Structure 1
């Protein structure tokens, strides 16, 4: 049984709108999983699927943006985590800092907006943290990216289902 089928089965007793929000909040699925499941499995209206998936995808964003720094600071007391965070920050800033410095929050928005694996709200929060983008800039950038990704996933899913005309 696929991971998607397991999640759908696990959430089978939940109302479809709530299951869509939960799937949208999960780091592996986010919008890329929530919208196709809401449309294809639950038969939700595209607007409802979009709204609940976006709401779910944004649920973890504020806690992640607020708590990544304190948690990493706490964990850095231990040598293994200090080594990991130093490696992560050094690698990320070496490989991507020029783009983030040049384009700032626009780069964050576009990064979150591209509905591919290892992009999305969860990774966007991590990128905002690593690059030191302030909460007041990162939250609207991530929200904008989630909206764009949601539109892209909705259109692609509806087109794949031959239902694009019902929007």
Structure 2
């Protein structure tokens, strides 16, 4: 999308970056390329804004998600949704269960689909981890993810190709690993 689309939304560019980085799925992985490569915000300012936006929902998720899901469980039409949330958290919890605190940092830091602060927070809640410790380790993961994505943005097309190669290599390794487990 062109920069005109984003500018025509009527928000100051910094607020737009902040809001995009607070959204699930996009987080700072989407906000930093928007800020640096589309809106032309200097990388250091974009990094700080995206970091703040990405960290905003973390304490809310860590300290309120379980309570909200418990309330929603009382409504029959919401039970499928609440169960889906727990299943999603369980599916993403293997790294954290295996490597504990470092696993939580890695889950958040490695910029892959369905990883990030939202997923890390969900996994911490589902596994019943200490909320204060989880906040620290998720924050560290966000700092690392922001550094990785910022570097890739600054590398332009080279960064995009590098990210594609790394993601492709990880996907290939996981496919091979899963086939070996079936044998």
Partner of 1:159: 155
Larger RCO (alpha carbons 8 Å, 6+ apart): 1
Partner of 2:123: 127
Any idea what SS the aligned residue of 2:155 has? helix
Q: Offset at 1:66?
A: 1.3
Q: Offset at 1:7?
A: 7.2
Q: Distance in 2 between matches of 1:5 and 1:76?
A: 42
Q: Distance in 2 between matches of 1:35 and 1:125?
A: 21
Q: Following superposition of structure 1 onto structure 2, how do residues 66-77 of structure 1 map, counting pairs within 5 Å?
A: 66-77=63-74
User: Structure 1 length as normaliser, TM-score?
Assistant: 0.81
Partner of 2:55: 58
User: Structure 2 length as normaliser, TM-score?
Assistant: 0.74
Partner of 2:17: 20
Partner of 2:36: 39
8 Å Cα contact 1:112/1:146 also seen in 2? yes
5+ residue gaps, structure 1, are: none
Distance 1:84 1:30, change over 3 A: closer
Q: Once superposed, what is the RMSD of the aligned Cα atoms? A: 2.7
5+ residue gaps, structure 2, are: 160-183
Bigger Cα displacement from structure 2, 28-37 vs 80-89 = 80-89
Bigger Cα displacement from structure 2, 153-162 vs 111-120 = 153-162
How many residue pairs match? The answer is 159
Partner of 2:179: none
Q: Offset at 1:83?
A: 5.4
Distance 1:144 1:97, change over 3 A: closer
Q: Distance in 1 between matches of 2:74 and 2:124?
A: 22
